[in-house]
Amino acid sequence: MPQREYDGSEVFDNLSPRTIATLQTYPGMVQRNIRAVDAEHVELQYYQQLRAGRRCSCWGSNVNACGHCEVCYGVGIVGGFLKYGCAQWILDVTAPNLTLNNIDILMTKNEGPHVFGLADGATSGEIIIPGDLQGNWGKPGSCPQEEGPTDIIDSHFWEDEDGQISFWIRSPQYTAWRPLNKAHLNTLLQYPQRFDVRITMQRPGVEAKSPLLQHLMLRVFRTNVAATKLKANRPRGTHAQSLAELGVLDEWTSERWWFESRIPNLTDLDWFLDINRNIRWKAVDTDKMAPQDVTLSWDVTVRKVQDFEQRILKYPA
Ligand SMILES: [Zn+2]
Domain locations along the chain: 36-85+227-317, 86-222
Does residue 38 contact residue 73 with C-beta atoms inside 8 Å?
A: no
Collapse the DSSP code of 265 into the 3-class scheme (helix H, G, I; strand E, B; otherwise coil) and give the result: coil
Q: What is the Cα–Cα distance from 194 to 126, expressed in whole angstroms?
A: 20
pLDDT band at 293 (very low <50, low <70, confident <90, very high): confident
Averaged pLDDT score across all residues of the chain: 86
Q: What is the mean pLDDT of residues 17-42?
A: 85
Say whether pLDDT at 238 is over 50: no
CA–centroid distance, 79 to ligand 1, in Å, is: 8
Does domain 86-222 correspond to CATH entry 2.40.50? no
280 C-alpha vs ligand 1 centroid, how far in Å? 21
Which phi and psi angles does 239 have, rounded to 5°? Answer: -55, -45
Distance 217 CA to ligand 1 centre (A): 14
Interval between CA 56 and ligand 1 midpoint (Å): 5
Phi, psi of 316 (to 5 degrees): -70, 115
Domain 36-85+227-317: CATH architecture, name and number where available: Beta Barrel (2.40)
Provide the whole-model pTM.
0.85
pLDDT band at residue 62 under the 50/70/90 scheme? low
CA atoms within 13 A on the CB side of 150: 18
Question: Who surrounds ion ligand 1 at CB < 5 A?
Answer: 56, 58, 65, 69, 71-72, 113
| Rounded Cα–Cα distance for residues 276 and 189 (Å) | 29
Residue 314 Cα to ligand 1 midpoint, Å, equals 13
Cα 80 to middle of ligand 1, angstroms? 8
pLDDT tens-digit map of 86-102: 999 999 999 999 999 99
Compute the distance from residue 111 Cα to the ligand 1 centre, in Å: 9
The alpha carbon of 315 and the centre of ligand 1 are apart by a number of angstroms equal to: 12
**Non-local CB neighbours of 109 within 8 Å, separated by 6+ positions:** none
Q: Which residues contact 211 (CB under 8 A, 6 or more apart)?
A: 117, 118, 157, 158, 159, 160, 163, 164, 165, 201, 202, 203
pLDDT band at 5 (very low <50, low <70, confident <90, very high): low
